[in-house]
Amino acid sequence: MVFAGVRRLRLHVLASLALLVGWVWWPWWPWWPVSLRLVRSFCEPPRRPREALRLAKRARAKQDVDSDASASDLEELDLELPTFGERKWRKAPSSWPAEVAELFVPLGPHTAATRFVETAPVASWLPATLYNVLCELPVNEFDLQACLYPKGSHLFTAPQLRKLLKAAEAAAPDRVLDVGAGDGCHTAVLREVSEEVVATETSQGMAWQLEREGYEVWCEDVSETWAERSARTRRRAFSLVSMLNVLDRCAAPRKLLAAARGILEEGGFLLLASPLPFAASYYGPETRWNGQPLEDLSFTGFGNWDEDGLRLVQEFLPSCGFHVKALSRLPYLSGGDVLDGGCIELDDIVVLAQKSTTT
């Protein structure tokens, strides 16, 4: 028993050294997949229990269903029943004016959100410790996450997204550009509702994972490259651009939205999700930038979900050339690590906005 424990500890140390040497001493990119396999093979992530987020699983209320409802309608209704107890997910804030509140589409959360919490992948002690140590180096934190953390996040399901598209009177998208695709969990949902999905990522580690799953990946900052790429390609424009929890993690949100507008076809849609209250954070290489947006964001600074959400819909997005057609509120769930308490929940606004003819 003791010998097995010592042997496992030695393997942990060897994996740590492989990661550190491959990352710091040599050009790290060709070496990190080896380190990834070593660390993950000896550090199976624990699963997060149901109580992790203190979910108040609401007893399913009896539903009044028309006698002529089809079996498929009943099945879809059952799937979409919310399992999170808070009322905030099911209706617009009472402080919102009627013209904004009527855009609210109650989507759930879906029962898949509860299932995700029950089985959320959580990084164990060793990769979590390595992550915190290596974050002190001038490296991209998303590259570290791709290497050390298990894949896993949840925002919506394909039926929920179709419901939002229907509320916005938007057809099923032909081509989708998923900006900041991350580990690809949401990209997979987008692929279910569209004909073609292209992913973009500034993190080489995340881009490598996406390529392994068969996606076309642009490893670049589209806010800088979209004009050049559009000029040299003859492919048709995108009908939907997705930015899920990206706006709060980039230096220039307005510039990124301007790029999205340039990439979209006429009448195309922006699918935007952002945690509120809005708080800018940064995960890229260390620079002199202190982590705050380099551009003024008119909808921030109010310190509560209702105010920031209203300003986002009424002022910020219209000023960037988008007209909001439908919106909702959903928990953004992602796997964390044992040092931070495991599964992470963010309170997201989800917006479907159409490209305006004039800015």
Give residue 115's pLDDT: 86
Q: pLDDT in tens for each of the 359 residues of the chain?
A: 443 443 444 444 445 554 554 444 444 444 444 454 444 444 444 443 333 333 323 322 333 333 333 444 333 433 333 346 677 888 999 999 999 999 999 997 888 888 888 887 777 778 888 887 877 777 777 788 877 788 888 999 999 999 999 999 999 999 999 999 998 999 999 999 999 999 999 888 899 999 999 999 999 999 999 988 877 766 778 999 999 999 888 878 899 999 999 999 999 999 999 998 887 665 444 444 444 555 656 555 557 899 999 999 999 999 999 999 999 999 998 887 766 666 788 899 999 999 998 75
User: Is 302:78 a contact under the CB 8 Å cutoff?
Assistant: no
Q: CA–CA separation, 334 vs 220, rounded Å?
A: 24
Strands (E), the chain: 153-154, 175-179, 196-200, 216-218, 238-244, 264-275, 322-334, 344-355
Q: Domain coordinates of the chain in residue numbers?
A: 1-43+123-150, 90-119+151-285+292-355
Backbone dihedral region of 134: left (phi > 0), alpha (psi from -120 to 50 degrees) or beta?
alpha
The top-level CATH class assigned to 90-119+151-285+292-355 is alpha beta
Contacts of 205 by beta carbon, 8 Å cutoff, 6+ apart:
32, 140, 142, 143, 144, 145, 146, 147
SS (H, E, C) 215-227: CEEECCCHHHHHH
